[in-house]
Amino acid sequence: MVQASKRSLLKGAAAAVGAAAFAPQLFAQAKPVRIGYAIARTGPWTGGAQISQEPNYLLWAEQVNAAGGLDVKGVRRPIELVSSDDRSDIETCVRSYEKLMGSDKVDLILPPWGSNANFAVAPLANRFGYPMLAPTALSRKLVEMKLPYFFLLLQQPDRMVGALVDMLVANGVKTLAVIYVDDLFGLENYAALKIALRSTNIQLVEEKSYPGDIKDLSPVLRAIKDKNPDAFIGLSYPPDTILASKQSKEIGFNPKFYYASVGTAFQLYKNVMTPAGAEGVLGMGSWNSKTSPAAKAYFDAHTKKFAGKEPDRWASGHCWAALEILQAAVAKAGLDRKAIRDYVAATTHKTIIGDIQFTASENTATPGTVGQWQNGEFEVVWPVKSATAKLNPNKPAWK
Amino acid sequence: MSVSAWLELLASGLITGGIYALVALGLNLQYGLMRILNIAHGEFLMVGAYLTWMAQTTLGMSPLWMVPVSFAVMMALGVLIHWLTFRRLSATSPNLDIFEARGLMVSFGLMFLVQNFASWMWGGDLRGYDYLTDPVPLGAAQFAGNKLLVFALALLFSAALIFVLRHTLLGKGVRALMQSPTGAQLVGIDTQRLHPLMFGIGLGLSGVAGCLLSMAYTISPSMGEPYTVTALIVITLGGFGSMGGALAGGLLLGVIEALGMHFSNPSLKALLSYSVFIAVLLLRPRGLFAK
């Protein structure tokens, strides 16, 4: 059960020492490209960081090195990851990046996990002139900061919630109840939802916020059940996504459309709710292994490397796309960070989740999407042109 | 609001309260009886939860079997920890206040050790499994089977502890220890054996709480701390060392929170619990049920 990463790190280190001793010429020409990051391995952010983000960094470095190294303007150089635990603490996170960019002077950086950490590190990276392609940051405020070196891979709240409201309208939803976690993520999504609902006839019958460490949502869910809305939206994080789902099952609250946000696209959700229990649940998701052959290859490689641990069907894909973009940029522009930034900003990128293009910091090519659990797979069901399966507009009863 | 809706709301508050009480029992034993303010209480609860999760997912064992197993494992661990740390502390501390301060430091250390051990051992991912989640109808309302089980076991454990403390020789010895440690020693109560045993039982109870909570909630290495805080509030409400008080305090807190969340907003939950906490500290500093 001991985490494999440590063992493989040791093995890697031993192999490197061995190779350096016996075949120094291997290392003579290829100076490694040092890529630094700090990410949560302990503390409350770990759940998200270790599902959607760090496994991808490790898999990517391994794949690139196995293929002969990172292509730096035609020269293959091995990737050396310089990483540390930010302990889910903003201060530690910022200081770690300051050290990486200011004194370690790594060649490139990879971003930390989550809107809050990115919010703190992005201005710093911008000052040092390090391009940062963030796969797990969701906040309009980050876009409004207009940082030229900062790029957001996820669809922002207005797009995600916009797609959801479009879907509800297209399926004749009349009444809606919403609960939202009372932090930056929940508040921004809630605000976006209110705006999206303005141009519709959907009536909001209940809206309540809750704190992130909530242990019991049943009083709120029972009140919502009494109002019998057509649709339920939880703007939630993984633990409360699962809490709300379990408690909805407990009290028999089963609206036609049941949507929960972060965590619905995790393998964990299917494990905890069972595939039959998850059937029909909607959530934030934008790809799966059917999206493209490259997505399938990525999915399989990830599952193989991490002993059956699947990437999530939302941010993991965007994280991989960010690494693909960075890799292409380095092949084109070398390690000149200004040139990398310009390449990222000006190009339409082909990635496993489709085309990505940035308008200022924002990815404006990926449409807002809605996912749904169907037969044990999280399918993209909206908009129709990105869909991997057809929407089931009548959630079956919880099992 | 209809009568049945009221009952439903109260029942859901009582169930959450039962969980709070269960979490508080172990800490109450440690702090109430021995003045060991075990800040790492929630961490041991987390270990109990992980043991249960591991047994369920890798061995296919029923989480219910893990209730006695977690208790035994954590109790053994508790006796060991007591022998390694608190035994020495009580031998070298000149008085109880200094012992309490030093014990607090030690338990802080334990908190970091145990939390990091869990991260190293099981990684930081959220974990969970599906067990007894099907709703059980209870009158007009319905509740998840695992929640009812947790509630029933919380009541059972509280009742058992109250019984043991009130009606057995062991309980008498423990209560004597609480009232006057020196006096207890003078009349021949073997504190050298009673202390580690009680500390072990406290840890065992936190293991049971963790085992039961893992049926209803997702688990992660950082899940413990909020439970330590809740447990502290509950034992302050109920009065240090009073098992009946902890049970009543837990249930009361659960009901207050459920009502508060229903009529105001879940975001105000912390405000509610801390208002109750502060009010009790100001008006009845020895606990709601102190005579």
> What's the angle, vertex CA B213, arms to CA B208 and CA B214, rounded to 5?
100
Query: What's residue B189's pLDDT?
Result: 84
Chain A CB within 8 Å of residue B185 CB? no
Distance in angstroms (rounded) separating the CA atoms of residues A169 and A196:
11
Cβ distance B54 to A88 less than 8 Å, yes or no, reads no
Q: Exposed e or buried b for every residue in B139-172, given b needs 16+ CB within 10 A?
A: eebbbbbbbbbbbebbbebbeebbeebeeeeebe
Task: Name the closest residue on chain B to residue A50, using Cα atoms.
Answer: B125
Min distance A51 CA to chain B CA atoms (Å): 7
CA A194, CA A173: separation in Å to the nearest integer? 15
Task: Compute the average pLDDT of residues A15-26.
Answer: 53
Does residue B207 have a pLDDT over 80? yes
Q: Mean pLDDT: which of A41-55, A315-329, B132-146, B229-243 is highest?
A: A315-329
Is residue B49 within 8 Å of A253, Cβ to Cβ? no
CA dist., res. A321 & res. A23, Å (int): 35
Per domain, the residue ranges of chain B are: 34-222, 226-291
- A212 within 8 A of A47, measured Cβ to Cβ: no
Q: What does the pLDDT average to over B183-195?
A: 84
In this structure, the number of other CB atoms found within 10 A of the CB of residue A370 comes to 27
Percent of chain B at pLDDT > 70 equals 99
CA distance A372 to A379: 5
Q: Which residue has the higher pLDDT, B158 or A193?
A: A193
Count CA atoms closer than 13 A to A225's CA, side-chain side: 21
Task: Determine contact: A200 vs chain B, CB below 8 A.
Answer: no
Among candidate residues A385, A351, A376, A395, the one with its CA nearest the CA of residue A166: A385
Polymer length in residues for chain B:
291
Among candidate residues A255, A199, A186, the one with its CA nearest the CA of residue A227 = A255
- Find all residues with CB under 8 Å of A4, minimum gap 6, and list them: A306, A307
pLDDT score recorded for residue B22: 87
CA B235 – CA B228 distance, rounded (Å): 11
User: Region A155-177: what's the mean pLDDT?
Assistant: 95
What's residue A11's pLDDT?
60
A positions 316-345 inside 8 Å of B (CB): none
CB A101 within 8 A of CB A109: yes
Span B8-16, average pLDDT: 87
Going by C-alpha positions, the residue among B190, B189, B195, B191 that lies closest to residue B82 is B195
B10 touches chain A (CB under 8 A): no
Does A9 contact B at CB distance below 8 Å?
no
Checking if the pLDDT of A66 tops 90, the result is yes
pLDDT of residue B142: 81
**Of A2-16, A146-160, A188-202, where does mean pLDDT reach its minimum?**
A2-16
B177: pLDDT confidence band, cut at 50, 70 and 90? Answer: confident
- Binning pLDDT at 50, 70 and 90, where does residue B261 land? confident
Q: What chain A residue is nearest to B10 in terms of C-alpha separation?
A: A219
Half-sphere exposure (Cβ direction) of A146: Cα atoms closer than 13 Å: 0
**CATH code of the domain made up of A31-150+290-363:** 3.40.50.2300
What is the rounded distance in angstroms from the CA atom of residue B75 to the CA atom of residue B87?
Answer: 16
Which residues does chain A have within 8 Å of residue B127's beta carbon, measured at their own beta carbons?
Answer: 268
Asked if A42 and B216 come within 8 Å (Cβ–Cβ), the reply is no
Q: Does the structure show a pLDDT above 90 at A178?
A: yes
Spatial distance between the Cα atoms of A65 and B40, rounded to a whole number of angstroms = 43
- Among B121, B221, B261, select the one facing A219 at the smallest CB separation: B261
Residues 263-292 of A with CB under 8 A from B: 263, 266, 268, 271-274, 277
φ, ψ (nearest 5 deg) of residue A203: -100, 130
Least confident stretch, A122-126, A200-204, B233-237: B233-237
Contact B75, B200 (CB under 8 A): yes
CB burial of B95-134 (b: ≥16 within 10 Å; e: otherwise) equals: eeeebbebbeebbeebbeebbeebbbebbbbbbbbbbbbe
pLDDT band at A322; cut points 50, 70, 90: very high
Q: Do B270 and A211 touch (CB under 8 A)?
A: yes
Residue in A closest to B255 by C-alpha: A219
Distance separating alpha carbons of residues A38 and A109, to the nearest angstrom:
9
Measured between CB atoms, which of A43, A250, A274 is closest to B222? A43
- What's the pLDDT at B35? 85
Distance of alpha carbon A51 from alpha carbon A57, whole angstroms: 11
pLDDT band, very low/low/confident/very high, at B143 (cuts 50, 70, 90): confident
A258 close to A281: Cβ distance less than 8 angstroms = yes
Residue A367 · residue A381 · CB < 8 Å: no
The residue with greater pLDDT, A218 or B178, is A218
Q: Which one of B10, B113, B116, B125 makes the best mutation probe of the A interface by having the most chain A beta carbons within 10 Å?
A: B125
Backbone angles phi, psi at B205, to 5 degrees: -65, -35
Closest residue of chain A to B219, computed from CA coordinates: A239
Mean pLDDT of all residues belonging to chain A: 91
Nearest to A219 among B128, B141, B258 (CB): B258
Query: Does A261 have pLDDT greater than 80?
Result: yes
Give which of B4, B12, B51 to mutate to test A binding, by max A Cβ within 10 Å: B12
Q: What mean pLDDT comes out for the span A54-65? A: 97
Contact criterion met (CB < 8 Å) for A216 and B135: no
Nearest to B22 by CA among B256, B205, B217: B205
Full 3-state SS string of A30-43: CCCEEEEEEECCCC
pLDDT value at residue B194: 86
**Spatial distance between the Cα atoms of B108 and B38, rounded to a whole number of angstroms:** 8
Q: What interface predicted TM-score (ipTM) does this complex get?
A: 0.81
Interface test with B, best of A210, A250, A279 (most B CBs within 10 A): A250
Q: Closest residue of B to A225, CA-based?
A: B5
CATH number for the segment(s) A157-286+369-386: 3.40.50.2300
pLDDT given for residue A129 in this prediction: 96
Rounded distance between C-alpha atoms, residue A55 and residue A319, angstroms: 10
Q: Are A275 and A252 in contact (CB under 8 A)?
A: no
What whole-number distance in Å separates Cα of residue B90 and Cα of residue B92? 6
Between B235 and B181, the higher pLDDT residue: B235
- B171 falls in which pLDDT band (50, 70, 90)? confident
CA gap B222, B219 in Å, rounded? 8
Q: Where in A242-344 does DSSP place strands (E)?
A: 257-260, 282-283
CA distances from A19 to A5, A24, A27, A34 (A): 20, 7, 8, 19
Residues of B in contact with A242 (CB under 8 A): 126, 128, 218
Cis peptide leading into residue B137 (ω within 30°): no
pLDDT band at A284 (very low <50, low <70, confident <90, very high): very high
Give me the mean pLDDT over the B82-95 stretch.
Answer: 88
Give the A:B interface size as CB pairs under 8 Å: 137
Taking the C-alpha atoms of residue B124 and residue B116, their distance in angstroms, rounded to an integer, is 10
Alpha-carbon distance A20 to B239, whole Å?
Answer: 65
**Which token pair is B42?**
């929630």
User: Please, which pLDDT band fits residue A5 given cuts at 50, 70 and 90?
Assistant: low
Order of all β-strands in the sheet with A358-359: A132-134, A150-152, A362-363, A358-359
| CA–CA distances in Å: residue A153 to residues A36, A284, A315 | 19, 14, 9
For tokens 């702090």, the residue is B31
Q: What pLDDT digit, counting tens, does each position of B29-70 carry?
A: 888 778 889 999 999 999 999 999 999 999 988 999 999 999
A180 DSSP β-pair partners:
A209, A235
pLDDT of residue B130: 86
Contact criterion met (CB < 8 Å) for A209 and B266: yes
In this complex, do B220 and A3 lie within 8 Å of one another by their Cβ atoms?
no
B137 at the A interface (CB within 8 A)? no
State the amino acid at position A281 in one-letter form: V
pLDDT, position A16:
54
A216:B12 CB<8 A: yes
How do residues A330-339 score in pLDDT, each as one tens digit?
A: 999 999 999 9
Touching check for A226 and chain B: CB below 8 Å?
A: yes
| Closest in B135, B226, B270 to A249, CB measured | B135
Q: Is pLDDT of A17 > 70? A: no
* B107 phi/psi in degrees, rounded to 5: -70, -30
Q: With an 8 Å Cβ cutoff, are A3 and B127 in contact?
A: no
Q: Do A250 and B129 touch (CB under 8 A)?
A: no
Judged against a pLDDT cut of 90, whether residue A15 lies above it is answered with no
Question: Is the Cβ pair A41, B147 closer than 8 Å?
Answer: no
